[in-house]
Each structure stands twice: as C-alpha cells, then as structure tokens.
Structure 1
Amino acid sequence: MAKVRKRVLPSGEVRFLADYFDGSGKRRSKQFDKRKDADAYLVKVRRDLQLGVHVADSASLTVREASRLWLDRCADDGLERSTRDAYDQHVRLHILPLIGAKKLTQITTPSVHTFADDLRSGGCSPDMVKRVVRSLGAIFGEARRRGYAATNPVSDAQIKVGDRRKNKRPDIPSKADLRAILNAAQGKHRALIVTALFSGLRASELRGLRWDAVDLKAGVLTVKTRVDAWGEFGPPKTSAGERDVPLAPIAVTTLKQQRLAIGANGPAGLVFPSDEGTPLNHQNIINRIWDPLQIGAGLYTLHETKRDEDGEPAKVTRYNFHALRHAAASLFIEQKLSPKRVQTLMGHSSITVTFDTYGHLFEDAEADQTAVAEIEARLLRE
C-alpha cells in the first residue's frame, strides 16, 4: 500500500516519506520537504504502476550513464564514424555539462525546454539546439528500451529553434556563372566538375564513385557508395540515396575521356582518384580544385582586410562546392521534372526535403498571373 509518512530527522527537521511497492513488489520510498509534494508523487507513481511504466529514482540512470549506453549502441549498430563523432560532441560538449549528473527520472518536458533555452543562451545556433535535443531524445529512447526510463520527455517537447521565415534559399549559380565554370574546368579535374553539375551527386558520393557503377553506354550512373571524411567507404546517407542518375551527353563524353586517361582498373576502381589512387579529400577538392577554378573563371570578390601570402587582397570565391548540386536540381526542375522525380534524382530522404529546399523553383509565375486574372474576372462578372 502506498502512503505518506511523516519523519522527524535527528536535527529536528520534518520530512515526508512517500512509501510504496513497485511493480516487482520491491519496497520504494522517496523523501520530500512538503506533504503535498509527497502526495503528488504517489499519485504519479500509482498512475505509472497501472500503466506498467514506473521506474524508481534509485533504479534510474544518470543522463551521463544513459548517454554512454546510447553511444555504445550507435557503435554496435555500425553508424558511420562522422555520425558517431557528431553524437559524441553533442553529449560531451552540450548535454553532460548541463544535465549529465541528473537522473533520467528528474528530466521532465518542462526541463527539456529549460535545457534548450540554456543551449541557446550559451551560444548554440538554432540548428545545433535542434540536433542536441534530438540526441537527448535518442538517449531516452535507448534508456526506455533497456527499462531505465518510463517515458521520453523530449517527445512531448515543442522546441522552437528559430524563425523559419529567416531560412535562406540555396545559393544557385546563374547560367552565365555555370558556363564560366564549365569553360574554366579543364584538365584532369574537368570530369569531376562536369559530373557534379549534371548529376547533382553529393561530394561524398562523387568521391566514392567507382567505374562499376557507371554505364557509359546507357548514360547512367548508379549511386551506391560514398566516402566519409576519413576516406572510409560506406552506403549512401539514407536508403533513398541509392539511385540511378541519367547523364547528359557532355558528362558521358568527359567520363569517357576520364576513363581513357586513368583506366578502369586502378586502385579501388575510383572514377575520381587522387594522385595516390585513394579517394579525394574533400578539403583538397575545395582548396586545390574548386576555389582555383572559380578564381580562374572570375567568380570571386576581393576581401577588404584579409591578405594573401603575396600581400594582395585575398580572393573570396562566390560559391561552395555544394552549389553544383543545387544547380543540378534547378536544371532538373527547369526541365519540368516532377517533384517526386527530382526527389529521386537528388536522393532526398523525403519529398518534404525537396520542397523545403527547392519549392520556390517549382513556382510558375505565368500560371499564377493567369490564375489571379481569372479570379478577378469571375468576381467582377458577378
């Protein structure tokens, strides 16, 4: 039977003990300063016992202990190293300093909101707040699976991470800039730039592309591998990442030239290998290929204060490498491909991602004008 008992400590202070038996018949108790808090706790315990989800404070883990179980589970599940490292940073840099010592049973939905507020006030970006809170939810999910937590307070938290109206549209190169890029892309790295532009592959997918996934006769490449930041091969980010992508004639031609230049049986059979035959390093693509190409194409501005090694104003390039992927999507959409087809070609996990990123490109200004003119005509006729 659950009941509240008054207890007088040797110091003379009064405490109220909430006494009860858990689902396994083990006697449990928790001490409170006020009777009303003890009564409220027992009400919650009775409800949780009826639902079969009660976990006593003494049987619960700290957030620190639960975090370690979750990170171990991520490793056992074979998540990519970059993903595991990101999760480890969420835990080590953000979760443990703020709530690592707390028991899981002490974390409530209101305290999740407080945690998110503390992250924001500590300088975390809205996107980072969202990622860290999501990781906290995953920690609770693993704890619940193991029976160390009764509920997941993160699932009921409505965390606002910023005004969506402030989200910028992707920076898509103009056609004039794309032509300048193609004209400047010469030599052994031309095939990389052309393929990126006309296929929309992610940089990691380009770096992991092998010749056995390229059918030059049919003009199609198959995305089935990617290379992470440490040069390790793995599957695409999601199951939707595995896809067939048609190649424009210019891409087929440049890939044929690439195959003649390097052969198809080199180390790992890579389409775009480094000079050592290993996957290209992403930062090297930026520093040694992409940025010099843009400078050669005149796509840069001069920095007001920074200087290069010659003492001249530093040249700041206009686009990041991902802009080629955005350009490919814009060209697909311009050709009136359906949103679902664009989602497939881009390897997006859902159509929502496609619309969130490129929804404005599906707009038809001429059709909109025709529609509002018809609305006006119908209104005035009546």
Structure 2
Amino acid sequence: MAKQRSNGEGTVYQRKDGRWEAAGYVLVADGTSRRTRVYGATRKEAMDKLIEKIADSNKGMPVAADATTTVADYLTGWMETVAAHKLRPTTYATYSHYLKSFIIPGIGGKRIAALTPKDVRIWLHRVRTACQCCTQGWDAARDPNAPRGRARPRCCAIGHCCEKRVAPATLQYLRGILSSALAHAVREDELPRNVATSVRLGDTRSKPFEPLTGSEARRLLNAGRGTQLGVLVELALRTGLRKGEALGLRWSDLDLEQRAMSIRQTLQRSPTGEFAFYLPKTESSKRRIALPGECITSLRAHHVRQQAEHAALGDERPRLDLVFTNTCGNPLDGPSISRAFHRLCDQAGIRRVRFHDLRHTCATLLLEQGVDLVTIKDLLGHSQIHITADVYAHVRPRLQRDAIEAMGNALNGNDENDDEDGDDDLPIPALV
C-alpha cells in the first residue's frame, strides 16, 4: 500500500494532458491560507515544487499563487511588475489601452487558473465580429447638441451602425499581449500551460496596401517642391524612413559632404502626451544609409530657409537641432503631418495614402528596379530578411514574370551570340 501523506503535505496527481499537478495549502499575502497548485513534467518535479512553496509558507513567507486570481487582477499586476520594466513607454501605453478596451472587458472576470483555449477563442471571435463603434461607444460620446460643424452622433448612436471592425493585426496583437502575460505565469509555475498559444485566428491577413506608382510619386514630389513638407516627403520616399525616424532626425545626423545620414533616434509622443525621443524600433533600425543627390540638394535649400526662420525668433527658440520643425522651432506632431500629407496628395491630384505608404513605395519601386532584398532590408532597417520578403510579397509575381521572360530570352537566343570558348555548345538538359 502507498504511504498515506500527513495532513498539510498536499496532493499530487497526473493531468489528462500528461503533466503532473500538485496542490496544497499555503500562506498568501492577506494572511490567510489558500490552496495553491504547481505543475511539473514528472510526479517528483511537481511534488518538489509544492514542498518548496509549503516550506516558504511555514517560514511565514506569503506565496503569490492564488487559484482565485482573475485574469484582470493578474494582468494588472503583470503590467506593473513585469511589463513596465521591459517595454518602451509607447509600447506600454499601447498595452494598457488594449487591456482596458478589449482584454479586461472580455475575459477579465474569469479565473486565470480556469481559463481555457475555448474561452480565448470565443473572446477573440467576439472582438473580431463586433462593431467597435458600438462596443466602445465612440459615436455615443459625441455631443448631439454640438454646434454645426462640430462632431455630432452620425452612425451607431442614431441607429445607423457603421460596422467598424478591428483590423486582423489588432487581433494578433491582442493575443500576443495575453500570451506574453500567460507565458510569464507558466515560467513562475502559476499555470500549467499558456492557453493563448494554441488558439488559431484563421485568416488574419491585413488588407494589401497599394503603394504609389512611379507616376504618382513624381506628381507628389512636384506638388511639394520648395516646401518643408516636400523635403520630408522626398526623404521618406527615396530612403524609406519611418515617420518617427524622419521627425527625430537632427542636422548632426546628416553628413551632406559624405552623402550619408545616421538613424539614431525617433520622435514620438510619450504616454503623458509630451514629445519624447526614443531609440529606434530595433537594433537593426539604428543604421547609416546613403543620401540620394536629390535629397542633398533639397536639404541644403531647406537648411537655409530654416536658419532664416529661426534667426527671426532670436535666442528664445528651442535648440533641438531637428531637421524638421514648426515655425517656432518646436518638434512636428505626427498626426499634423498626416493631415498635411493628405492635403498634399489632393493638391497633387493622386489618391490619398498613409504617410507610412511612402516607405512601402520606396521598397516596391526598388524591387521593381531589380534591387536585391538584402540591400532593401538594410535600407529599411528590418531585423530579418523574411520580414522584407513577406511584406513585399505582392511584388514577386511581377518579378517572376520578368525572370521567366529573361529565361526565355536566354534559351531562345540565336547561335551567333554564343561565346567562343565553346561552353554554349553543351547540350541543355531536358526540363522534367
């Protein structure tokens, strides 16, 4: 007969998924005793973990594990004690927004120990199919008594649902946040597995972007010529800079004599709403790239205009050394640039695209000109070449057609152009 365990030693058993689970009563932070659970690949591993927790409890050390902890409570604590120390401030603010708007309202009330893949899948399905204008109350928040010209309720609040859905990338982001938090719980033996990783989202492909054509890009450059916005647009279009990288660019980062520039920082709004400088997105984003001759010419002219504007301000102007500033010498706001860029698109007589699509246009035009993926990856600052290949997969069919035609030209050539070394006399293997 198996030896009977004494009172307080806990219990251990094998789960249906093959892992072992041990449970026992320990001291928690509020001074009471609660049942805690630990997990292991073997019976001994699970029992050793439980014995360690019980030993700490017997020494008066409270144990964090708590089977009654809700998803909302755990995520709130994870954000404060873990995420706050490893995320950039802007990323932390994004996580907080998604927790408040989607995750906690959807599954925050469930016990984290009882959360299942089905719970996560159903929650994501509801997020995917719900009109966010209705769910978040965006239209209802508008003032129905606002004066003419101001935002009044115009869709969901007055019975005309606008069916505003989340983007596929948002679903992936939501699952990624939840998965990161649950992975931490698994590492600290508070959960047996990460239930978010087994959930499949189905087709989460974003809508394909449509970069500018060469003709549209030329019209855009002509419309902005001689203005600061035009210089900014040309730089982003010819070099593929992100908006934050361009707005954070300093004159000291430019070497106009050597025709190069270094990307060392980005400009963004901090969670408090103030302008702040951050390191580039990834280590690969910190890069030095060549400057086209056209950009050097426009930057020199822009520098002369900017110095004249700043001289009129006297010594009171901010000395941030930024390439792109407002008339007072202060940093430019990203949303304001987007609105001005849309007006420039209208002026040029082309369709409206996002400012970020200038980056896509740069890569697409380079690919169509036969530039290799490695060079484009380095120019854009992607960390892995597969990112470049995946993002610009829409260009490959056209390149494949060109390659097939080039192969046809090679195989259908006449003998008059054969090399004299005789290599071309070798038979061509049959194509199977």
- The TM-score, its normalising length taken from structure 2, stands at 0.67
Q: Which has the higher helix share?
A: 1
The offset of 1:145, in angstroms, is 4.0
Deviations 1:182-219 (A, max 9, x none): 11113331321221111110111111111111111111
> Relative to structure 1, is the Cα distance of residues 65 and 163 closer, same or farther in structure 2, using a 3 angstrom cutoff?
closer
Cα distance in 2 for partners of 1:25, 1:103 equals 17
Please say if 1:143 is aligned against 2:152. no
The Cα of 1:127 is off from its aligned counterpart by 2.4
State how far apart, in whole Å, the 2-side matches of 1:338 and 1:198 are: 16
Separation of aligned partners in 1, 2:388 and 2:177 = 24
Deviations 1:34-61 (A, max 9, x none): xxxxxxxxxx978665444779984563
Structure 1, unmatched stretches of 5+, are 4-18, 29-43, 300-316
Worse overlay, 194-203 or 335-344: 335-344
Shift of 1:89: 2.2
Q: Partner amino acid for 1:284?
A: S
Q: 1:380 to 1:350 in 2, by over 3 A?
A: closer
1:76 aligns with 2:85: yes
Flag structure 2 segments of 5+ consecutive residues without an equivalent: 5-9, 14-20, 27-37, 54-63, 132-165, 311-316, 413-427
Q: Distance in 2 between matches of 1:359 and 1:145?
A: 37
Say yes or no: does 1:169 pair with 2:192.
no
2:11 equivalent in structure 1 = 20
Q: For residues 315-368 of structure 1, what are the alpha-carbon distances to aligned partners after superposition, in whole Å with 9 as ceiling and x for unaligned?
A: xx5222122212211233234322112111111232222112212334242322
The offset of 1:146, in angstroms, is: 4.0
Counterpart in the other structure of 2:342: 291
Q: What secondary structure does 2:232 align onto?
A: helix
What residue is the counterpart of 2:385 in the other structure? 351
Among 282, 288, 294, the alignment partner of 2:334 is 282
Out of 255-264 and 84-93, give the one that drifted further.
255-264
TM-superposed deviation, 1:93: 1.9
Contact in 1 for aligned 2:179/2:196 (Cα 8 Å): yes
Match for residue 187 of structure 1 among 226, 229, 235: 226
Aligned-CA RMSD value = 3.5
Q: Are residues 321 and 272 of structure 1, via their aligned partners in 2, closer, same or farther at CA, if it must alter by over 3 Å? A: same
Matching of residue 160 in structure 1 with residue 168 in structure 2: no
- Distance in 2, Cα, partners of 1:154 & 1:331: 39
Q: How much does 1:116 deviate? A: 2.5
Q: Distance in 1 between matches of 2:175 and 2:280?
A: 25
8 Å contact from structure 2 (residues 65, 190) kept in 1: no
Q: Does the Cα contact within 8 Å between 1:20 and 1:27 map onto a contact in 2?
A: no
CA distance in 2, matches of 1:381, 1:287: 55
Q: Is the Cα contact below 8 Å between 2:72 and 2:109 reproduced in 1?
A: yes
**TM-score normalized by the length of structure 1:** 0.75
Structure 1 position 25, deviation (Å): 8.7
In structure 2, C-alpha distance between the alignment counterparts of 1:93 and 1:259, rounded to whole Å = 44
CA distance in 2, matches of 1:79, 1:20: 42
1:233 is paired with a residue of what secondary structure?
A: strand
Q: Which residue matches 1:31?
A: none
In 2, the alpha carbon distance for the partners of 1:241 and 1:24 equals 46
Aligned pairs, number: 330
On the 8 A contact 2:287/2:381 being kept in 1, the answer is yes
Name the CA distance, whole Å, in 2 between partners of 1:287 and 1:158: 38
| Letter of the structure 1 residue corresponding to residue 125 of structure 2 | D
d(CA) in 2 for partners of 1:2 and 1:224?
66
Alpha-carbon spacing, 1:373–1:318, altered in 2? closer, same or farther (3 Å): same
